[in-house]
Amino acid sequence: MDRTAEERSNVVEELLRENGGWAVIDGGLATELESNGADIRDALWSSKCLFSCPKLIRKVHLDYLEAGASILITASYQATIQGFLSRGFSQEESEALLRKSVELAVEARDIYLQKCPQKRQILIAASVGSYGAYLADGSEYSGDYGECVTLETLKEFHRRRLEVLVEAGPDLIAFETIPNKIETQAYVELLEECKINIPAWFAFSSKDGVNIVSGDSLVECGSIADSCQNCVAIGINCTPPRFIHDLILSMTKITKKPILIYPNSGESYDPEKKEWVQSAGGSAEDFAPFVNIWHEAGASLIGGCCRTSPDTVRAISRALKGGA
């Protein structure tokens, strides 16, 4: 069903209203594909599955819907035209793979709704991972791109990718794991320059509970996102659960827009070994017991990132239904 521009811009608000003030985002996609047997130790990471095992992506999306998620994030986090071109795909094939990420989530939603007796609203958020994720050298967790990478470099890098994803018809764009201020600015300018007419959320990652991973200020980056017309929610993803509460409190001071959080399991990623390792003071335990505290602190969209699973999402959903 075609929505007007006005309706499109309110999809998140509408979902929150229908649902009584909260909504569940899905859990980690790449790591769940891995748990289902996919080998993603590759520079393309989960986007490799777009050509190697697309049906598995659809299955994992379905698992998350069945676990209670109302927002599916597509498998495009590390899917870039440049990345696919470097693997021998043509421009057309690369763009088709980007579109495929949205199509798979839409198919999962259709399948789920067909057999689901209680119709409910489900949104598809097209993931846009950072330039650092494409580099696959760990800079997605340092935000350090070196001096040669300018605002223009980043805009040029993301421009066509963003346009193709939007053309594929998701409900919104999910800018995820944003590591620094320059990339935040690039996204805001691109949304405007490309006249993107669907909403977007901005999710930053942090490794100290105060700033985003590059050391740039969350307050500053969050405020840049807040001033963007397309932006319908701001928050934190792929960050250890122990930092989430303080980060929510910081965000409540800079935005009136819905706050979203989808932490990882608390482990950290070793980019050389391409493995998740238990970090000091981290915890791989489920964070569901904290979900209602985070909701009370101001977060309304809650899910999980790397190393969380449909079980995590089921527990989040149960906690929010029972509490709050």
49 counts as binding ligand MET under rule CB under 6 A: no
User: C-beta of 276: minimal distance to Zn ion in Å?
Assistant: 10
180 counts as binding ligand MET under rule CB under 6 A: no
Q: Are 50 and 100 in contact (CB under 8 A)?
A: yes
- 176, interface contact from Zn ion, ligand MET, none, CB < 5-8 Å by kind: ligand MET
Amino acid at 217: S
Q: Which of residues 289-308 bind ligand MET (CB under 6 A)?
A: 305-306
Q: For residue 261, list its beta bridge partners.
A: 236, 302
Measuring CA to CA, which residue among 24, 22, 57, 34 is closest to residue 324?
22
Q: Which of 238, 244, 248, 302 binds ligand MET (CB under 6 A)?
A: 238
Task: Between 142 and 292, name the residue whose CB sits nearer to ligand MET.
Answer: 142
- 11, interface contact from ligand MET, Zn ion, none, CB < 5-8 Å by kind: none
Instruction: Give residue number: closest CB to ligand MET.
Output: 30
User: C-beta of 299: minimal distance to ligand MET in Å?
Assistant: 17
Task: Between 105 and 306, name the residue whose CB sits nearer to ligand MET.
Answer: 306
User: C-beta of 264: minimal distance to Zn ion in Å?
Assistant: 5
Q: Which of 46, 184, 206, 309 binds ligand MET (CB under 6 A)?
A: 46
305 counts as binding Zn ion under rule CB under 5 A: yes
77 counts as binding ligand MET under rule CB under 6 A: yes
Measuring CA to CA, which residue among 229, 219, 148, 215 is closest to residue 187?
229
Q: Which of 238, 248, 302, 319 binds Zn ion (CB under 5 A)?
A: 238
Distances (CA, A) of 22 to 28, 116, 170, 206, 231: 19, 21, 21, 23, 18
Task: Between 17 and 278, name the residue whose CB sits nearer to ligand MET.
Answer: 278
Task: Between 64 and 112, name the residue whose CB sits nearer to Zn ion.
Answer: 64
212 counts as binding ligand MET under rule CB under 6 A: no
Q: Which of 139, 177, 184, 239 binds ligand MET (CB under 6 A)?
A: 177
306 annotated to a ligand binding site: yes
Measuring CA to CA, which residue among 169, 72, 62, 74 is closest to residue 116?
62
95 counts as binding ligand MET under rule CB under 6 A: no
User: C-beta of 235: minimal distance to Zn ion in Å?
Assistant: 13
**Number of Cβ within a 10 Å radius of residue 102:** 25
Q: Which of 9, 23, 25, 28 binds ligand MET (CB under 6 A)?
A: 28
Cα separation, 281 vs 145, in Å, equals 28
49 annotated to a ligand binding site: no
Q: Are 74 and 125 in contact (CB under 8 A)?
A: yes
Q: Which residues bind ligand MET (CB under 6 A)?
A: 28-30, 46, 73, 77, 127, 176-177, 238, 305-306
Q: Would you list which residues are annotated within the binding site for Zn(2+)?
A: 238, 305-306
